[in-house]
Amino acid sequence: MNNFRVSTPSRLCLFGEHLDYLSLEVIAVAINLRFSAEVRKRDDSLIKIRIRDSKIDTLGEKNDEGLYDEYEIDLSKPIEYENNRDYLKSSVNVLLKNGYKLSGLDIKMDSEIPIGKGMCSSSTMIIVLIKALLQSIDSPDADDPKKIAYLGFCAEVAEFNEPGGMMDHYTSALGGLVNLGFYTDDTTVRTFEAKLPGKFILFDSLDQKDTTRVLANAKTPALEAIKELEPFGITCVQDFLDEKNMQFTAKLDEEHRRVLEADIDNYKILLEAKKMFEENNIDNKKIGELISRHHANLRDGLKISTDKIELILETAKKNGAYGGKINGSGGGGCCYVYADDKDCGKIIEAVNALGFPAQIMQQDSGVRFDGEI
């Protein structure tokens, strides 16, 4: 196939924010905010990539002036990384290491996904590029979303020995409602048949994420708390599903207790939502309540929200949203609410009046071939 177009979705983390590094689960949903690539064959060994300028980083911002950053990868030469975020080269390199025979291409990449806002812009870029490369050589793996997700994880995380999970890659590649479990060394992946009838409204707080602060406030105390309670037979968050073990959190100082109890409750919230999705018994009001309860733990327990995000969520709920939360690791970036279609206009109008961009989102399919061009 010579000339074609492919795309892949962004995602929202519904339940399980900050639970992956505790060897627990996440539930995420793919949304119709997509990263796309137009691909044309070349007669040489060069892969030339034009990608939307990284300065265009606000939700809903259009590339009206046609601004692109340009990159070139020569397949006839060894690939050398310029930094630990050289994801275009690592995507190509991972495929070459796995025996795929690539050839020259012109690839133009555009994205509706804001950068640095917790919307997995890097992961979706990698997934759509790998899909494009596999499609260009008519590989049967181009139609295997789990394979594409795994290769994407390798290109972004494993290739650079970086910490990071698989939620973004698998949710984008598979689409729909995705449940990932991190209970063992082998990550388990499943999809739910349920389709959420409501709409998501995504908001941009206009602040970049503060990942360093977030990890200091959230990850480190949680891991330290579990370690501190090992003498009492506590080895993981699941141990607190037995209510009698909750007494041991009193052994911790205020910070560690606050963070751990928030994580415990968020795990219970996830299990409640998971049961609803498994039974395909969707209650919009209940979903909103669980999402808001999850956010309250992130705000009060992990301290990863911001004043702007709280203002957005409070305004949206006053105008009819079922519930909402921060999206991604926190400390800035995007947040979202879940709402009935009939209330979306009123909610957006109220939040737009405060100066924050918004877009209506809904559940979407995964990585896909969008046709020849």
Alpha carbons 273 and 232: distance in angstroms, whole number: 30
Report if residue 372 sits inside a domain.
no
Residue 99's pLDDT band, with cuts at 50, 70 and 90, is very high
Let me know whether 91 and 123 are in one domain: yes
Q: pLDDT tens-digit profile of 115-160? A: 665 667 889 999 999 999 999 999 999 999 999 999 999 999 899 8
Let me know whether 307 and 339 are in one domain: yes
Q: Is the pLDDT score of 165 beyond 60? A: yes
Let me know whether 110 and 221 are in one domain: no
Last residue of a domain, one of 181, 196, 211: 196
Q: Is the pLDDT score of 210 beyond 80? A: no
The average pLDDT across 184-201 equals 88
Let me know whether 178 and 216 are in one domain: no
CATH code of the domain in which 271 resides = 3.30.70.890
Let me know whether 243 and 319 are in one domain: yes
Let me know whether 168 and 281 are in one domain: no
Q: What is the 3-state secondary structure (H, E, C) of the chain?
A: CCEEEEEEEEEEEEECCCCHHHCCEEEEEEEEEEEEEEEEECCCCEEEEEEECCCCCCCCCCCCCCCEEEEEEECCCCCCCCCCCCHHHHHHHHHHHCCCCCCCEEEEEEECCCCCCCCCHHHHHHHHHHHHHHHHCCCHHHHCHHHHHHHHHHHHCHHHCCCCCCHHHHHHHHECEEEEECCCCCCEEEEECCCCCCEEEEEECCCCCCHHHHHHHCHHHHHHHHHHCHHHCCCCHHHHHCHHHHHHHHHCCHHHHHHHHHHHHHHHHHHHHHHHHHCCCCCHHHHHHHHHHHHHHHHHHCCCCCHHHHHHHHHHHHCCCCEEEECCCCCCCEEEEEECHHHHHHHHHHHHCCCCCEEEECECECCEEEEEC
Domain housing 319: 200-361
Residue 20's pLDDT band, with cuts at 50, 70 and 90, is confident
Let me know whether 182 and 243 are in one domain: no
Report if residue 295 sits inside a domain.
yes
Let me know whether 162 and 282 are in one domain: no
Let me know whether 189 and 219 are in one domain: no
Let me know whether 227 and 150 are in one domain: no
The average pLDDT across 272-298 equals 97
pLDDT value at residue 161: 85
pLDDT value at residue 36: 95
pLDDT value at residue 60: 66
Q: Average pLDDT, whole number, for the chain?
A: 92
| Model confidence, pTM | 0.90
Q: Is the pLDDT score of 287 beyond 80? A: yes
Q: pLDDT tens-digit profile of 74-92? A: 999 999 999 888 999 999 9
Q: pLDDT tens-digit profile of 242-280? A: 999 999 999 999 999 999 999 999 999 999 999 999 999
Which of 152-161, 178-187, 237-246 bottoms out in mean pLDDT, i.e. has the lowest?
A: 178-187
User: How many structural domains compose the chain?
Assistant: 2
pLDDT value at residue 39: 98
Let me know whether 162 and 72 are in one domain: yes
